[in-house]
Structure 1
Amino acid sequence: MFIQCTSDPIPGPAGADGINGVDGKDGKDGVSTGAATSTTELLANKVFLGPNVDGVIDASWADSQILVATTVVPDPGNNVFRGYVGQSIDAQIRAQYDSEFIYFLAEWKDSEETNSRDTWYFDPTTNRWAQESNKPVFDGAGNIIRDAFYEDKFAMQWNISEVASAWDTQTCYATCHTNDTEAEGFAHHYTSAAGLQTDMWHFKSIRLGKPVGQFDDKHIVFPDATHPIAGGKTRAGDAKVSGSHSNNVITLPLLDGANAGTNVKVPKYYIPGRSDYYWILKSEIDNGTAVAITGVHDNGMLELAGGGTIDPNTDLDFQRPAPLNANDIHSTAKKGMPSIFTAPIVGSQGDILCAQTYTGTGWILEYKRKLVTGNSDDVAFDTTKNYPFGFAIFNNAAIAHAIKPFLSLKFKQ
């Protein structure tokens, strides 16, 4: 159902402003006076030429219908989403399309931008390099004593060939399974039968969105030997020629000490002189800006390609700082090394282009994809049809996501 805006303004974006309570680029909350809103339907406005995807809300969005939603983190059981269950996030989405592309504008509230994903730091108590946990750490009473160190994410899911009777009524619940074994991870997305698939669009702010301006385009399949449930392999990346993100980790034997020869994990690359950085570009590896780590001593000192060392026992910026106060559960090493290196994706996996802005109180995310890519792992949009879908927001979360199912994309003619 649409609620037509008449005399009363509807809180939401207008021009370059943001959603109510989320400042836009100009620092002001938006008030829309010219577009309808809906809580169930996303109506894509037909335009001659779509907007520039730059993370700034231009005037072309002012007349697009606004899908208004509150996403909520469900409880799949078995503490899978522990620390997140019940969290709600206000969001809204708009859409446009032209003869070639469909464009989306998503906005959601977020009081803190999360950048430090699985950051590497040196632990002087063990003399080993470690990574921050991507899930919250709890004490015996169930209180969070260490925040998760991850990234902010956004996702949408569309049907490609899943059974229509299930998808059309259940949307993303059609692929959500919460009865998996502990070894499998308890809960995962996969389709109902072999040969069926759905299309998952995954915005990952640190791994792809901010550094290279792309979504991670995936497809969900039925479990088999190539795509086991364990490890989430039923969420498969679309075909690609090159690019995407890789873990910044290497296993090396200790060079000396009582544990000489023991294999340990350390960062694979780092950038000299850089601090508070969250990714390394593949181009920075290729041009020598990033330096390879080639050896590790029992006291944690690292050997570098081309000579030189890093001694985290004397340069304390590689260690976690002392907490600022009792509530400081998210500080990590100033020179902590990124968990990933990344490069633009060439191929179907990278065919969703995006730009994003964190405003201080929330996210503005613009993205586009061809209506029809010609790839078998992508949904093909026919502008005469409707497309049931769901979307999710991950607030500093690896897997816990606030969801909004039972929605429908329609194309204005």
Structure 2
Amino acid sequence: MRTIKLFFATLFITTLLVNCTHDDAPDTDCDYEPIEEGVGSSLDTLLVKRFTTAPNFDGDVDAVWSEARPLLNTAHVTPAGDRIITLNGSSNGDVSLEPLDLMDPYTGESIKYSLRGGHDGEFLYLLFEWEDDNDSKDRQSWYFDPVTSKWTQENKYANHDNDKFYEDKFGFMFPIGNPEGFAGGTCTVTCHSNLADPQPGEKVTRHYMKNEGELTDFWHWKRDRHALAGACDDGYVQWEDDEGMASANGRKNDEGISPYSTSMKFTDAITDLSSPKYVIPSRENYYWITQAEIDNGTAVAVTGVAVDGVLTLANNTLLDPNGDPSYAQGFGNKRMPSVIINPGGQGNDQRSEVQVRAKHIGSGWQLEIRRKLNTGDPTDAEFVFGTETPFGLVIFNNAAIGHAQSNFLTMKIEE
């Protein structure tokens, strides 16, 4: 098995921690050892050349990838500003139950990564690898609380290190045209903090563009929600007319089929108690339910929630969690998923144009990414031979918003 940690063993790089709203490029002078003789590596420039033969797009690392010079760097989780209000419903408005900074408890974490690129004249190919010992997919699972006799979900936003119940993710941002400040600040120019008037669940740091009419291309992959899609969410960031407010959210998805739904909550009309919407009886360690499993009856709908937590199912059976540690918070192996997934557009719509083949190999993630150099979509970046494109990337390690960022990068595309 290829070991990503060994892949990075010769990399000794010191990078500058960059705050989300900082616009100045860091000093990138440092010493590092090239990992492959004749190919070398770079700290901040992704060199994209034409392949002799395009790689098989399957998530494996073909020999042809040895032709591509890797960009080797480290992404860091940096502070993003105080939360001001609570984000988790379980906190019931008590700010003392949540950490202060929006990125806590992830602040200070760092992730080594490698990024390679190439093209075949039609498609851009990327090989993105990062260190991560765990394939995180336990995303906000439903569990039974025997003290309250209620079903609830793991927190979306971790309150402490032992409260991380989410999925691994990545994001890339590329400019569409020439947005103000992007060449020097990359992703940081889209990030705005200290926003006003946050309502319950709203963050005081948001992404939107500085000026009306400006756009950036945003690729966002989610380990659970894209498990069947073979793609990431191809989206964009735009300006918002409520700029300066916590309600301003400039992140949008391109048109197309959503490959997931997070509407997994059922509420009993009589008891007013909630539970997961579907369960797969007797299944263990599952982190999503497919639409096909709902359609064929493998997943059974919940039709009632009793005051003692017993669930009535659509097949006229009961599920009693009382005294059963299989439904316990944190470790129960029959906790229920928070998402429903489907194959999505499979590359046939704008939202699924950025195709992804992902594998966790035990020591980290190994992903091949493919997209047309020019899709013709006005909300997509165009990759042109002979140009240099500034970009940034982020890695989420079992986190909803606590992302490690690596900005001030450049993609240089040669014909």
Aligned to 1:235: 251
Aligned to 1:388: 390
Q: Which amino acid aligns with 2:371?
A: R
Q: Which amino acid aligns with 1:236?
A: K
Deviations 1:138-173 (A, max 9, x none): 4xxxxx4x321001111110111452x411111111
Aligned to 1:302: 311
Q: Which amino acid aligns with 1:213?
A: G
SS at match of 1:202: strand
Q: CA deviation at 1:253?
A: 2.4
Q: CA deviation at 1:113?
A: 2.1
Question: Following superposition of structure 1 onto structure 2, how do residues 68-217 of structure 1 map, counting pairs within 5 Å?
Answer: 68-78=72-82, 79-138=101-160, 144=161, 146-161=162-177, 163=179, 165-181=180-196, 183=198, 184-208=202-226, 210-217=227-234
1:403 aligns with 2:392: no
Inter-CA distance 295–22: structure 2 relative to 1 (3 Å threshold): farther
Question: Following superposition of structure 1 onto structure 2, how do residues 201-350 of structure 1 map, counting pairs within 5 Å?
Answer: 201-208=219-226, 210-224=227-241, 230=246, 233-240=249-256, 242-253=257-268, 261-320=270-329, 331-346=330-345, 347-350=349-352
TM-score, with length taken from structure 1: 0.83
Identity within the alignment, %: 37
In the alignment, the residues of structure 2 paired with residue 133 and residue 22 of structure 1 have an alpha-carbon distance, to the nearest angstrom, of 34
Residue segments in structure 1 that go unaligned for 5+ positions in a row:
1-15, 24-29, 139-143, 255-260, 321-330
Inter-CA distance 228–292: structure 2 relative to 1 (3 Å threshold): farther
176-185 or 341-350, which moves further after superposition?
A: 176-185
Inter-CA distance 44–18: structure 2 relative to 1 (3 Å threshold): farther
Aligned to 2:97: none
Deviations 1:185-242 (A, max 9, x none): 111111012222111111111111x3332111121111247x99646742111111x2
SS at match of 1:283: helix
In the alignment, the residues of structure 1 paired with residue 117 and residue 241 of structure 2 have an alpha-carbon distance, to the nearest angstrom, of 36
46-55 or 345-354, which moves further after superposition?
A: 46-55
In the alignment, the residues of structure 1 paired with residue 159 and residue 260 of structure 2 have an alpha-carbon distance, to the nearest angstrom, of 26
In the alignment, the residues of structure 2 paired with residue 75 and residue 403 of structure 1 have an alpha-carbon distance, to the nearest angstrom, of 11
CA contact (8 A) 2:240 2:248 kept: no
Q: Which amino acid aligns with 1:95?
A: G
CA contact (8 A) 1:17 1:57 kept: no
SS at match of 1:93: strand
CA contact (8 A) 1:162 1:192 kept: no
In the alignment, the residues of structure 2 paired with residue 182 and residue 391 of structure 1 have an alpha-carbon distance, to the nearest angstrom, of 29
Q: Which amino acid aligns with 1:173?
A: T
In the alignment, the residues of structure 2 paired with residue 151 and residue 69 of structure 1 have an alpha-carbon distance, to the nearest angstrom, of 22
Q: Which amino acid aligns with 1:381?
A: F
SS at match of 1:360: coil
Inter-CA distance 291–230: structure 2 relative to 1 (3 Å threshold): farther
Q: Which amino acid aligns with 1:370?
A: K
Deviations 1:19-50 (A, max 9, x none): 44359xxxxxx963342211111011202542
SS at match of 1:21: helix
Residue segments in structure 2 that go unaligned for 5+ positions in a row:
9-33, 83-100
In the alignment, the residues of structure 2 paired with residue 22 and residue 137 of structure 1 have an alpha-carbon distance, to the nearest angstrom, of 33
Aligned to 1:65: 69
Q: Which amino acid aligns with 1:393?
A: I
Inter-CA distance 130–22: structure 2 relative to 1 (3 Å threshold): farther
Inter-CA distance 233–302: structure 2 relative to 1 (3 Å threshold): farther
TM-score, with length taken from structure 2: 0.83
SS at match of 2:181: helix
284-293 or 362-371, which moves further after superposition?
A: 284-293
Aligned to 1:258: none
SS at match of 2:185: helix
Q: Which amino acid aligns with 2:60?
A: V
Q: CA deviation at 1:314?
A: 4.8
Q: CA deviation at 1:135?
A: 2.5
CA contact (8 A) 2:287 2:337 kept: yes
Deviations 1:79-126 (A, max 9, x none): 111111111111110011112211100111112221101011111111
Inter-CA distance 291–228: structure 2 relative to 1 (3 Å threshold): farther
Q: Which amino acid aligns with 2:63?
A: A
Q: Which amino acid aligns with 1:186?
A: V
Q: Which amino acid aligns with 1:303?
A: T
- Return the match for 2:357 from 355, 358, 368: 355
CA contact (8 A) 1:45 1:65 kept: no
Q: Which amino acid aligns with 2:359?
A: T
In the alignment, the residues of structure 1 paired with residue 167 and residue 297 of structure 2 have an alpha-carbon distance, to the nearest angstrom, of 27
SS at match of 1:263: coil
CA contact (8 A) 2:232 2:354 kept: yes
In the alignment, the residues of structure 2 paired with residue 220 and residue 232 of structure 1 have an alpha-carbon distance, to the nearest angstrom, of 11
**Hey, which of these two has a bigger chunk of strand by percent?**
1
In the alignment, the residues of structure 2 paired with residue 392 and residue 67 of structure 1 have an alpha-carbon distance, to the nearest angstrom, of 14
How many aligned residue pairs are there? Answer: 367
398-407 or 379-388, which moves further after superposition?
A: 379-388
